[in-house]
A and B are shown apart, each in its own frame.
Chain A
Amino acid sequence: MKYISEFRDGDLAQKIAAGIRGEADPARRYHFMEFCGGHTHAISRYGIVDLLPDNVRMIHGPGCPVCVLPIGRVDQAIRLALDAGVTLCTYGDCLRVPASDGLSLLKAKARGGDVRMVYSCMDAVTLAQKHPERQVVFFAIGFETTTPPTAVAIRQAAALGLKNFSVLCCHVLTPAAIVGILESPEARAGQIVLDGMVGPAHVSTIIGSQPYAFVPERYGKPVVIAGFEPLDVLQAIRLLIRQVNDGRAEIENEFTRAVTPAGNRKAQALVAEVFELRPEFEWRGLGSLPASALRIRDTFAEFDAEKRFPADYASVPDHKACECGAILRGVKRPQECKIFGTVCTPENPVGSCMVSSEGACAAHYTYGRYRDV
């Protein structure tokens, strides 16, 4: 397939892998974090770890939209579906995230909640148009990639004068999460070694490469923005190794076919028109981070589900044995969690990282657990 198969070429991969083996200094170890779940997925699905020398280790980051969603937010959505009786629409993966009382949105559906999976938030707007008698709520999650479409949906609903459409806004921001990682107690205590970061792909098409400038400037760590195809990831790892070897810390852009320094200004303007910063937002694993998420501006308040329905947010602690927090901060690997693959499996996820195939635990369980045996 054009524009896909070129970036999955096995022969080229072997060449880059040989280059990496040649350039990686056998006398040192390299620890790189891939921020995005899309990269985690590519690394696992294409078996990229098998192409890397032993002294290059990839640490899975928190950039998986459902992984960082705290239990309390899913609870809010479930209450809207079960107690407020709304038609709750959301994206696929979100349906299986475990919440309080052993529920998930999928289980809420089985209990009679009207929960729908949509491919686009515009489908939720269409649903609201078709069913004026139903209150339709779109449970909006995701990083900067999924935010502009939600902004469009809200503007569209306003233009149509819809009185039965609203959004439970849980959109989060990537740079704030990177700060959260680099400022975590473990990072400050020197318990995680991080030599560089594979920067987001789709997120960067929206926000550009500039917003990551603080990573090399303030923390002295290189960032290479990379696409989600496996060759992109390999090439980014090679560029990171070069920067480390040269003692450089810069922003490099491997994903030039889609990412510019300034990003997509139209999308940014849309987002700024509809959303504003939340003073703080709770993340799973990273705790409460300042200015790390968006809420709907007062101009569009009538489309804010948190204002339309009594659905106050209450923080809920994670399951005691679940290490999702430490895994999301890059402190632990999935197989170091006591319940990984036993109590917690993709069939019965305890933590959010076991839900989406972008989650570190699910990716390792689904694609790579043969390495543990």
Chain B
Amino acid sequence: MTRTRKPYTRPLDLKHGQVDMAHGSGGRAMAQLIDELFARHLGNEYLGQGDDGAVLPAPGEGRLVMATDAHVVSPLFFPGGDIGCLSVHGTINDVAVMGAKPLYLAAAFILEEGLPLADLARVVQSMAAAAAAAGVPVVTGDTKVVERGKGDGIFIATTGVGVVPPGRELSGRRARPGDVVLVSGTLGDHGMAIMAERESLGFEGADGHSPILSDSAALHGLIEAMLASGAAIRVLRDPTRGGLATTLNEIARQSGVGILLQEKSLPVKPAVHAACELLGLDPLYVANEGKLVAICAENDAEKLLTAMRAHPLGQAAAIVGTVQADDHHFVQMTTAFGGLRIVDWLSGDQLPRIC
């Protein structure tokens, strides 16, 4: 007589377990990791199809926008966020600044052998929460495991797809002399939050924690509100790595114009300003993960600013400069001191000065 036992698989040990090579080998361990972690938290009807690719409904009219971003942040967890929510926000923002409504995300994970499963679970949960809050599901994914020492815990590459309605044209090539430059909020929060953690600088506020939080956020809601204002927006971009200075230099080159900033108008939190002073860094070059730069027609600047400030993610928005004709495509700044200077491309990493 044979007795059929009820099928049983010992669940993943999310408390003490670690990622091992088996989790990337395509066998049962991988299937279990997908079921118990990825599908459980990120699950939706498309991811649930379980095929090699997700089959999605064709969007209606409009053009497709696709963007991809690889995330390699160290440390994985930092004040104000973690690599999980960052990988969702970053790609949603890249799609949204093209004027598109973000629809779907794909995510590829490269995990390092030995990564605590608890950390992975925390990251996946954070991703799931960010995707749910943004209303943009992760519809397909992939997992690979690399040997210990060949990764940095977790790398996450995400790809996003969205649709731009007909007639909406946003591009870094469209800035023209006379246009106005706006930013949606304070500069440098994400970069300084990371740096304070990474270098164990031990910045402490009155509550004993670092007062500098990452601004990681999805901006498509703010962008919809800005577009709904009717302002003639020419360019939107999120000033991530390299900060505002780098983004403006990119736009100046693409559009073949110069840009003049007003230092007095740049919003920077006092704590970020202080940390930058201490380290000899310039907040203009420090990364943001929840801010955008907008360039719009001069006459619409106030209208756009009002729309931005009415949105929770744009409360500290400000007009910071103007686009001007310049064959050299310089980004320049009138300093608070009354002089003029170039705001140049960054050469390599921003390194602290010595003296």
Partner of B342, one of A17, A65, A94, A370: A370
Interface residues of A in 28-60 (CB under 8 A from B): 36-38, 41, 44-51
Asked if residues A368 and B341 are in contact (CB atoms below 8 Å), the reply is yes
Asked if residues A47 and B335 are in contact (CB atoms below 8 Å), the reply is yes
Asked if residues A142 and B354 are in contact (CB atoms below 8 Å), the reply is yes
**B-chain residues with CB within 8 Å of residue A141 when the two chains form the complex:** 354
Interface residue A268 (Cβ < 8 Å from any Cβ of B):
no
State which of B43-51, B66-74, B79-87, B344-352 sits at the interface with chain A: B344-352
Listed in ascending order, the chain A residues whose CB lies under 8 Å from chain B are 1, 4, 8, 10, 13-14, 17, 36-38, 41, 44-51, 63-66, 91-96, 106, 117, 119, 141-143, 145-146, 202-203, 230, 345-347, 356-358, 365-370, 373
Partner of B338, one of A13, A38, A91: A13
Interface residue B273 (Cβ < 8 Å from any Cβ of A):
yes
Q: Bound complex: CA of A37 vs CA of B353, how far in Å? A: 10
B interface SS class: loop
Q: Bound complex: CA of A368 vs CA of B273, how far in Å? A: 23
Listed in ascending order, the chain B residues whose CB lies under 8 Å from chain A are 199, 201, 264, 270, 273-274, 277, 279-280, 328, 330, 332, 334-342, 344, 347-348, 351-355
Chain B: minimal CB distance from A329 (Å): 19
Partner of A1, one of B264, B274, B342, B353: B274
Q: Bound complex: CA of A356 vs CA of B97, how far in Å? A: 35
Asked if residues A93 and B353 are in contact (CB atoms below 8 Å), the reply is yes
Asked if residues A14 and B354 are in contact (CB atoms below 8 Å), the reply is no
Q: Which residue of A lies closest to B347 (CB)?
A: A346
Chain A: minimal CB distance from B118 (Å): 25
Number of A-B contacts (CB under 8 A): 109
Chain B: minimal CB distance from A149 (Å): 11
Chain A: minimal CB distance from B187 (Å): 15
Q: Bound complex: CA of A369 vs CA of B342, how far in Å? A: 8
Partner of A8, one of B280, B337, B347: B337
**A-chain residues with CB within 8 Å of residue B274 when the two chains form the complex:** 1
Once A10-B264, A370-B332 are accepted as A-B contacts, the answer to whether A93 and B342 lie under 8 Å apart by CB is no
Asked if residues A65 and B355 are in contact (CB atoms below 8 Å), the reply is yes
- 5 pairs, A vs B, C-beta closer than 8 Å: A41-B353, A46-B339, A93-B354, A142-B354, A356-B354
Q: Which residue of A lies closest to B346 (CB)?
A: A346
Q: Which residue of B lies closest to A41 (CB)?
A: B353
Closest 7 A-B residue pairs measured CB to CB?
A: A47-B339, A92-B351, A346-B347, A50-B339, A92-B352, A46-B337, A367-B341
- Most chain A CB within 10 A, of B340, B347, B354, B355, is at B355
Q: Which residue of B lies closest to A348 (CB)?
A: B347
Asked if residues B340 and A142 are in contact (CB atoms below 8 Å), the reply is no
